Chains A and B, each alone.
Chain A
Amino acid sequence: NAGVTQTPKFQVLKTGQSMTLQCAQDMNHNSMYWYRQDPGMGLRLIYYSASEGTTDKGEVPNGYNVSRLNKREFSLRLESAAPSQTSVYFCASSEVAAAEQFFGPGTRLTVL
C-alpha cells in the first residue's frame, strides 16, 4: 500500500514550457486535491476533485488545469510555466471531502 504517490520529485522548467504533474492514490479515496506550498504562506489549494468526474477551483487556480483521469489518478498541468509557479506541489486524497487528507511526498518545481 503506497498511499499517495507523485511524479516527478523534482523538475526544472524554462518560462513558457509545459508539464504535467502526476498523482495517484491506492486507498480508494473519492476526493483528491492539489496544493502549492510557498515559504510563509502555508498550503494553498489549487484545484480539487470531490469525486470521480468532478473538479473545482480552489484558492489559486490561475495558470493551472487538472484532470481526474479515474478514481486513482489526478493530474495537474501547467500549460505555460511562469517563475511565479516555482513552488512545492503536494497532492492529497481523502475518503470523504475534508476528512483526514493523506499527502504525497511533493514535487519541487523550479521555473527559470
Chain B
Amino acid sequence: AQSVTQPDIHITVSEGASLELRCNYSYGATPYLFWYVQSPGQGLQLLLKYFSGDTLVQGIKGFEAEFKRSQSSFNLRKPSVHWSDAAEYFCAVGTGNSYNTDKLIFGTGTRLQVFP
C-alpha cells in the first residue's frame, strides 16, 4: 500500500540557517509528490509538486525539493529560513498510475519552529 513517512515530528532552527525536511514514500510506480505548508489555524497551501522531468523542483517562498527514486525520498530544502516559515509541513503522494489519480496520501507532518 502507498504510504508517506515524515520521520521528524518537530524541527527547530535558527533564523538564517538552512533547512531540510525529510519525506520518504512507498509506491510501486512513478509517484506524484507534493509538499504543503500549514500556518497555525489555516488551511494547507501548496509549496511545490513533482510530476515528471527534472528531479529538482522549485516552489514558492524560496523552497525546493529533490526527488530521488533510488532512496524513495522527496526532501524539502531552503537555504536560509525566515521567522515566517514557522509552520507545519506535509509531504503527500498521489495514488494511482496516471495523472488522473484518485487521491493524495499525506504524511503525519513536521512542525518547524524558528528561533530569532
Interface of A with B (CB < 8 Å)? 4, 33, 35, 40-45, 48, 50, 56, 58, 90, 92, 96-106
Contact = CB atoms under 8 A, between A and B. Distances in A.
A90 B44 contact: yes
Given A43-B90, A103-B44, A105-B43, A98 B107 contact: no
Categorize the interface residue count of chain B: 20 to 34
12 contacts: A41-B108, A42-B109, A43-B44, A43-B106, A50-B102, A56-B102, A96-B99, A96-B100, A97-B102, A98-B104, A100-B34, A106-B42
Nearest to A40: B108
Interface of B: 9, 32, 34, 36, 41-46, 49, 90, 94-96, 99-104, 106-109
B65 to A, nearest CB: 14
Contacts, number: 60
Nearest to B102: A97
Nearest to B109: A42
Contacts of A33: 103
A97 B90 contact: no
Contact of A100 (B41, B46, B96): B46
Given A103-B43, A105-B43, A106-B43, A42 B104 contact: no
Nearest to B91: A42
A98 B95 contact: yes
B106 A42 contact: yes
